[in-house]
Amino acid sequence: MNTQSILTSKRDGQALSKEEIRYWIAGVTQRSIPDYQTAAWLMAVTLRGMSPAEMLDLTLAMRDSGERLDLSHLSGGISLDKHSTGGVGDKTTLVVVPMLASLGVSVLKMSGRGLGYSGGTVDKLEAIPGFRTDLAPQEAIAQVEKIGAALISQTARLAPADGILYALRDVTATVESIPLIASSIMCKKLAAGASRIVLDVKVGRGAFMKTLDEGRRLANALVAIGSSAGVPTSALLTSMDEPLGFAVGNALEVSEAIEVLQNRADIDTRFRNLCVDLVAHSLLVTGKATDTQEGRVKAENSLVSGSAARKFEEIVRAQGGPGSLRATEESLPMAAAIDEVRATTSGTVTGIDAEAIGRLAVAMGAGRISKSDTIDPSVGILLKAKTASVIRRGDSLASLHSRVSDASRRTEYADALRQAYRIEVVSTLPKRLPSLILESVG
């Protein structure tokens, strides 16, 4: 067995054996295979694809490239890992994890940083002064044992092969490969030791999977890998055609998550309903509810009773942040400049380009293009009008929270924001916008 023969086999579209895949991942992890050969292998996989057996073997080899956590002693042996494939304004983890923990579901949630127009949960959490995401695995497990949840950054000791491959995928035009996406997600989920996995696969303009068919393919691959590895896995396909919620940008998204947890009246109901549905599904798969209707009732109660908000407060305090939700909100950084962007026409908002909003937020400084970029946690976009909003000329579409004093640059931002909106004259309005959940798998 050698690297040249493995490269040739995959280049020619042949399936790799379990032994060949493990040999390759071992070489990647130990750095005995040079990056130029690994890059060629990544391109061959992207172009030629992988069978379900190859994807499983690749995922398990990557899982076994580092240490593995054992959560079997938590909460009667049932623990949950929730993962989103990412999108613009996706702050569901900040709401869903404390909801689940308040309902008795143990969650050790490892998240990543944002890259491109898709934000990262770790960046959002680090907008909270003092909040530590760099807990060691055993420290995180101890916190889950004590309060039911921990929100931490990915550690290099778990699935280190994935970190090496991911860095190369980012610069070799191989990010969109479903076998590589699926194995990257699932190797970390399986290494983290949860007994159940729930996946939120985003589909639409602001997601990596642009079409429902692409989303189905990825969801089916993820569920098949998890189930074949012995961990019951399910996925919800959810819409990401417009930003999720009102806020895009790290501190703004933390503030919006707190508003949802506090069950305030002026929140985006579609975002709140998505969180409730994700929690209901999670309660079902962990045996905490007999069906999704019972799960929704319990999820609603966690918000209405304030137990979810108190749990988030407890998590923040345990990880070095302020001692109360009010103190957390007051501690969030504020942008140097806030500009209202007003509509230049009247009509109904019939769509918002999530990708355009995400790219604008990155350009303003809320995200990063390369991993070495720094972000400003105070920067972002607070939408005032969403799909189905009826507006008049001069009404506010959004406020831009920026770090620049250059008036011309801020005017460019405002123009870009307006271009992301589709405003039309329509004869009728929908009585109710559809659920963000499109389908379920597993």
Query: How many angstroms separate the CA atoms of 331 and 255, rounded?
Result: 10
Which of 22, 63, 82, 83 is catalytic? The answer is: 83
Whether 386 sits among the annotated catalytic residues: the reply is no
Q: What are phi and psi of 428, to 5 degrees?
A: -135, 155
Which of 184, 234, 255, 282 is catalytic? The answer is: 184
Length of the chain: 442
Which of 10, 113, 124, 169 is catalytic? The answer is: 169
Q: What are phi and psi of 79, to 5 degrees?
A: -135, 160
Paired with 276 in beta bridges are none
Whether 326 sits among the annotated catalytic residues: the reply is no
Whether 184 sits among the annotated catalytic residues: the reply is yes
Q: Which two tokens stand for residue 421?
A: 């909106």
Which of 57, 123, 162, 268 is catalytic? The answer is: 162
Residue carrying the six token digits 């993962």: 83
Residue carrying the six token digits 């071992």: 26
Query: How many angstroms separate the CA atoms of 315 and 97, rounded?
Result: 10
CB of 339 closer than 8 Å to CB of 129:
no
Whether 83 sits among the annotated catalytic residues: the reply is yes
Residue carrying the six token digits 């939408």: 383
Which of 91, 188, 216, 281 is catalytic? The answer is: 188
Active site residues: 83, 162, 169, 184, 188
